[in-house]
């Protein structure tokens, strides 16, 4: 139960930020917080970036099952991913040192 509270807390605080149109969730894993944010912010687009193929396949299945047109799962390392056009927001502070180079 605590895990879902954290997710909904994150989603509700990001609702204020979802004024932008393009966001990227770097190292998304199972799609957190990208998938919940895509649900509460249908007007924004979310790129879910992960280097592992099995995670990206899972995200594509979730995207299909939930009919999320505003989600793009991508298999890539952050260093190799072209950020064109630029994103309005980035999630995953643990990658900030790599994003500065990116």
For residue 42, give the CATH number of its domain: 3.40.50.150
Give the Cα separation of 74 and 71 in Å (integer). Answer: 10
Cα–Cα nearest to 71, from 22, 5, 29 = 22
Looking at residue 4, its pLDDT comes to 44
Number of domains in the chain: 1
pLDDT tens digit sequence for 69-97: 999 999 999 889 998 888 888 876 555 44
The answer to whether 33 touches 100, Cβ cutoff 8 Å, is no
The sheet that has 89-91: what strands, in order across it?
Answer: 71-75, 45-50, 22-26, 89-91
pLDDT tens digit sequence for 9-59: 555 555 556 677 899 999 999 998 899 989 988 999 999 999 999 999 999
Range of the domain at 68: 2-101
């Amino acid at each position: 139960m605590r895990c879902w509270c954290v997710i909904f807390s994150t989603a509700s605080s990001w609702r204020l930020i979802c004024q932008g149109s393009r966001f990227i969730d770097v190292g998304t894993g199972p799609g957190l917080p990208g998938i919940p944010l895509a649900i509460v912010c249908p007007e924004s687009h979310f790129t879910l970036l992960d280097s592992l193929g099995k995670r990206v396949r899972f995200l594509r299945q979730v995207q299909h099952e939930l009919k999320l047109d505003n989600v793009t799962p991508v298999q890539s390392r952050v260093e190799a991913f072209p950020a064109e056009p630029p994103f309005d927001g980035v999630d995953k502070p643990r990658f900030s040192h790599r994003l500065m180079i990116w």
